[in-house]
Amino acid sequence: MNRRELREHIFKMLFRADFYEGEEQEAQLELYLQGEEEESGQEIKESDKEYMLEKTKAIIAALKPIDEVINQASENWKTARMGKVDLTILRLAVYEIHYDKDIPEKVAINEAVELSKKYGMEDTFAFVNGVLAKVCKQNK
Residue 81 gets which letter from DSSP?
G
Which residue segment(s) compose the domain that 68 sits in? 62-140
Is there a single domain that holds both residue 50 and residue 66? no
Helical axes 63-73 vs 124-139, angle rounded to 10°: 100
Is there a single domain that holds both residue 66 and residue 128? yes
Is there a single domain that holds both residue 135 and residue 68? yes
Q: Please write the tens of the pLDDT for every residue from 51-82.
A: 999 999 999 999 999 999 999 999 788 898 99
Q: Which of 44, 59, 74 is the endpoint of a domain?
A: 59
Q: Tell me the C-alpha to C-alpha distance, in Å, between residue 95 and each of 45, 60, 90, 119, 121.
A: 24, 10, 8, 19, 22
| Contacts of 98 by beta carbon, 8 Å cutoff, 6+ apart | 65, 66, 69, 139
Positive or negative CA dihedral for 70, 63, 124, 48? positive
Decide: helix, strand or coil at residue 101.
coil
Provide the whole-model pTM.
0.94
Residue 117: CB atoms within 10 A of its CB come to 12
Into how many domains does the chain fold?
A: 2
- The one-digit pLDDT tens for each residue of the chain (140 residues) are 899 999 999 999 999 999 998 889 989 999 999 998 888 888 999 999 999 999 999 999 999 999 999 999 997 888 989 999 999 999 999 999 999 989 999 999 999 999 999 999 988 999 999 999 999 887 76
- Chain centroid to Cα 32, Å, comes to 15
